[in-house]
Chain A
Amino acid sequence: MTSALVGSGEGAFAAPGTASGAARDAASSRSGTASGSTTDGAPPQHRPRRTFLDRTLKVWAILIFAFLFTPIVVIVAYSFNTGRLLAAFTGFGFDSFGALFTKPVVRDAVLVSLKVGVIAAIFAALLGTFAGIALARRPGKWTYWFMGLLLLVAVTPEIVDAVALLPWLVFLGQDLGLGMFNNGIVRLVIGNSVFSIAVVTYLVRARLLGMPENLEEASADLYAPPMRTFRRVTLPLTMPAILAGLLLSFTFSLDDTIVASFVQVSGATPWPVYVLSAVHSGLRPEVAAVSSIMLVITLGALAVVGIVLKRAGDSSAEIASTMAGG
């Protein structure tokens, strides 16, 4: 299927091979002089050849990037809507941002989201880090079971998680009388933790697997007790992955709508669930305004992840796969 798509395109434009070949030679000699090397047998570099296909691909990519940003631009633009309803733009102003301070419902929802995000992130980072270290450094038969469990977590549709957790938390909280499971924040943290733990575990494991055990062995050979080796060697090595996992978990919880809308208790409604209920009852511009602020927070957290990973020596491709949740 794929080869049919992209391949046939390349084939169609490969026909005037001689012409493009000449262009390629010209281009390569140009890039050769630009980089200062004159020999043709220099190590292979990316020779910029501008064929028709390349230009088509570029235009297509730009169009798709525009497509990807359309709704985001719309939301940010409509957050300056002074009208009563979100979808009907009547005038420009900053009124809608005031809702964060004047409307307790909005403010509380945002605070619940932030609080849950921080607790869930720390919790997931803690459990996930230990699990990831164990997976990478203490492999055994159990590794397959555990990886299988993580895979199961990753492929189960979120909606199934959500409908499964609701009766379970009700059972724990009401039938067994464990009061903590009736607490809104605890429920949301539990709801968000499952997926986050899987992601942090995966990231930490991947980072440690990419690093030989030499340093830890050296530390042990130098008579460092296991705890000190862990604290002074293993932990610092893992730090970029832990930090990335922490921030990713935070943004996961901040964005979580599906599980939260099932497990939430009235009085501790997180922001996305508030928005989802507003979809049915009529959206107001403050939804866009607060969402824009949340977007800035999320992007700030992700920028930090990107910088941390870049400092740790990851390539853009590695960062991309990390940020897509492993």
Chain B
Amino acid sequence: MPRRRLPKYALALPAWLWLIAFFIVPVAVVFWYSFGYKPGLFGSHANDVLSFDRYLEVLTPTFFKTFLNTLQIGVAGTLLCFLIGAPVAYWMALKAPAHLKGLLVALVLVPFWTNFLIRTIGWMIVLSPEGWVSQAFQALGFNPVSILYTRPAVLLGVVYNYLPLMILPLFVAFDRVGVVLREASKDLGASPLRTFTRVTFPLARPGVIVGVLLVYIPLMGDYITATVLGGAKGNMVGQMLASQFQTAQNWALGSAMAIMLILITMGSIAVMGGLIILGTMPIRRRNRVRLQEVSV
């Protein structure tokens, strides 16, 4: 390679500067605002006195309730996405006819690429009092149900909206495992269960982690699903912090909520990751010992 006078990162410099100017700096400003306060009725923020008071305010039951609610929906939604999506991804990658794979991927991508808001409105129509679900209940002789604007509606919405983000990485992971190693495991006398727990799943584990993170992180910050399907009862943090900026005009409190959302999202991932590592340690240790016996 010929020597150059330009530094190595020269080509990346425009993107770098742009991301700093319109991502790092704004988020840093929000971080700064979160230590300020709202001065009077017409001001949105002031930073002449710095304190942790906004964080304490976020921790009061009025606001923290919404955080807990969001955490519940986040964990339940991610878990449901996994339980629903994993068998689909497994089937697509390892059981479906090979020539159909491209089509199946396209079928998952179409909903993924349909406008998020429009998909959610589609559910709003289905769940509305005059919608199909309610009519089906009435036809069966029940009272008209209103699922719309409840927490189950929000849960349904988020599971639906983030399901493709779970299926796609899991599909990629299972597809990478491929047929050959699984066949080898079978030929060596392993039962299907053993093949799954010892070959397929360990190899697909990175994809599982990616899928869980791809669903959980945006789900925690979800704004649209809760706004359209949740109403007042299915409130989530995204909506609450948006209203601090848009209607309440309390930027300091809204900023503290934004920082808190990031902290809680990252913190809960760390806790869950730690628990999973601790919980599976005995199993992995056992497997390792057996593997050595085999190799001897």
Chain A residues in contact with chain B, CB under 8 A? Answer: 1-3, 5-8, 10-11, 13-14, 17, 44-46, 48, 53-54, 57-58, 60-61, 64-65, 67-72, 74-75, 78, 86-88, 126-128, 130-131, 133-135, 138-140, 142, 146, 149, 152-153, 155-168, 171, 190, 193-194, 197-198, 201, 217, 220, 226, 251, 254-255, 257-258, 262, 272, 275-276, 279, 283, 287-288, 291, 294-295, 298-299, 302, 306, 310, 315-321, 323-324
Contact = CB atoms under 8 A, between A and B. Distances in A.
B196 A320 contact: no
30 contacts: A6-B86, A65-B107, A68-B163, A69-B111, A71-B125, A72-B122, A87-B124, A127-B14, A130-B14, A134-B8, A157-B218, A157-B262, A159-B223, A162-B223, A163-B241, A163-B254, A168-B29, A201-B12, A251-B113, A255-B115, A257-B224, A272-B117, A276-B117, A291-B121, A295-B114, A302-B109, A316-B104, A317-B93, A321-B169, A324-B165
B179 A44 contact: yes
A160 B261 contact: yes
A88 B131 CA distance: 8
Interface in B99-156: 101-102, 104-126, 128, 130-131
A100 B184 CA distance: 59
B71 interface: no
Given A131-B16, A320-B105, A46 B98 contact: yes
Contacts, number: 315
B29 A319 contact: no
Given A87-B124, A134-B8, A295-B115, 12 more contacts: A3-B197, A44-B179, A44-B183, A68-B107, A72-B119, A75-B121, A87-B131, A156-B27, A157-B261, A257-B115, A291-B115, A320-B109
Nearest to B101: A316
B262 A6 contact: no
B98 A157 contact: no
Contact of A71 (B15, B122, B175, B265): B122
B25 interface: yes
Given A165-B22, A167-B26, A168-B29, A158 B125 contact: no
B92 interface: yes
B88 A3 contact: no
Which 7 interchain pairs have the tightest Cβ spacing? A157-B221, A71-B122, A134-B11, A164-B26, A131-B15, A11-B193, A168-B26
A311 B255 CA distance: 46
- Output the residue of A6, A60, A160 with the most chain B CB within 10 A: A160
A71 B112 CA distance: 12
Given A6-B86, A70-B126, A146 B164 contact: no
A316 B171 CA distance: 10
A53 to B, nearest CB: 8
Interface string B1-34: 1101000111110111011001111110110010
B64 interface: no
B180 A44 contact: yes
B15 A164 contact: no
B110 A72 contact: yes
Given A7-B197, A167-B29, A71 B224 contact: no
Given A88-B130, A320-B168, A275 B117 contact: yes
Contacts of B4: 226
A294 B222 CA distance: 23
Contacts of B115: 254-255, 257, 272, 291, 294-295, 298
Given A14-B193, A87-B124, A324-B112, A60 B88 contact: yes
